[in-house]
Structure 1
Amino acid sequence: MAITVTSGVLATLREEATRAHPQECCGLLLGREDGAILAAVPAANVHPRPERHFEIDPAALIATHRAARAGGLAVLGYYHSHPTGRAEPSATDRAAASGDGRVWAIVAAGEVRFWRDAQSGFEPLPLRVAAG
C-alpha cells in the first residue's frame, strides 16, 4: 500500500535532521486514516544517548494523541534520523518495533524513506508526494 506525503512534510523531516545533527531528531507523523501524511510534529529526543538512539518525549506523544482524539489529525506514525547511518531500520529500530502497523519515516543523508512496522518486521512503503 502506497502512502501519500506532502512536500512540506518531507522538507520538515530533512530540516529537523539537519538541525539535530549530530544527534537523532524525532517526532510524530500526522494525517488521515487513508494514509495521507499531512504534518510532521517535532518532539524532543529524550534518550540519554541521542547521538545513537531516539526516544520521543512522552509529554509530546500524549499531547498529540489527545489532540487526535479531540478531532485533530490522526497519529499515523513516527520519524527519526540516522545521523551516520542509512534511511532504513537499524538493528536498534527492529528491536524496538512493536509490529503495530504504524508508519516510520527514517531520514539519513538527505534521503527520507518510509516503512510500515508490520508484525513480520519492517516493510518498505511506496511513496507518492503531494503538493503542500
Structure 2
Amino acid sequence: MTLEVSSNVLDRLLAEAESALPRECCGILLGEGLIVTSLQPGANVHPDPETHFEIDPQALVDAHRAARNGGPQVLGYYHSHPNGLARPSATDEAMATGQGVVWAIIAAGRVTFWREGAAGFAALPYVTTSR
C-alpha cells in the first residue's frame, strides 16, 4: 500500500515546519483514500509546543464537518520534530489511537509518513504526484 502525496503538499509541510521553529507545527492531512491532496494547518495549543503538539480542537471539528458536507476527507495528521528525528516518538506512540490514520512527521528537511495501527506505527511508503 503506497500513499500518493502532491508535491504542493510536501512543499507546504516543509515550509510549515521551518516557519514554526523552534516549535512543532501541526495540522490535518486531507484527501481521499490513500491520496493526500491538501492540508489544513492547525494552531499548536499544547502548553509545551517546543516538544509536543496538540492540534487546535476547533480545526479538527471544522475539518470533520467539512468532510461530512462533501469536502475532502480527514486522512490523518502532521507535525514536526524540531529535534531532527523523522519518526514517531514515544509520545506519538502513546497518543496513537490505533484507528489506521496516516501521520506525517517533518524533521531535518524531510517528510516521512506512517500509519498507526493496533501494533503501533508502520512506515508508509509514498510517491509524489503533481496534483
RMSD: 0.6
Equivalent position of 1:102 in the other structure: 101
Equivalent position of 2:44 in the other structure: 45
Equivalent position of 2:91 in the other structure: 92
Please list, as runs of the form range in 1=range in 2, the aligned pairs for 1:27-66 lying within 5 A after superposition: 27-33=27-33, 35-66=34-65
Q: Using the TM superposition, give the Cα deviation of residue 85 of structure 1 relative to its aligned residue in structure 2, in angstroms.
A: 3.2
Equivalent position of 1:2 in the other structure: 2
C-alpha separation between the residues in 2 aligned to 1:118 and 1:110? 26
C-alpha separation between the residues in 2 aligned to 1:38 and 1:50? 26
Q: Using the TM superposition, give the Cα deviation of residue 40 of structure 1 relative to its aligned residue in structure 2, in angstroms.
A: 1.1
1:80 aligns with 2:79: yes
C-alpha separation between the residues in 1 aligned to 2:51 and 2:84? 10
Other structure's SS at 1:115 match:
strand
Q: Using the TM superposition, give the Cα deviation of residue 121 of structure 1 relative to its aligned residue in structure 2, in angstroms.
A: 0.6
Unaligned ranges ≥5, structure 2: none
C-alpha separation between the residues in 2 aligned to 1:41 and 1:75? 10
Other structure's SS at 1:41 match:
strand
Q: How many residues align?
A: 131
Q: Can you list the C-alpha shifts for 1:12-48, whole angstroms capped at 9, x where unaligned? A: 1000000100000000000012x10000110000000
**Equivalent residue letter for 1:59:** Q
1:24 aligns with 2:51: no
- TM-score, length basis structure 2: 0.98
C-alpha separation between the residues in 1 aligned to 2:25 and 2:14? 10
Q: Using the TM superposition, give the Cα deviation of residue 4 of structure 1 relative to its aligned residue in structure 2, in angstroms.
A: 0.3
- TM-score, length basis structure 1: 0.98
Percent identity (aligned): 57
Equivalent position of 1:121 in the other structure: 120
Unaligned ranges ≥5, structure 1: none
**Equivalent residue letter for 1:25:** C
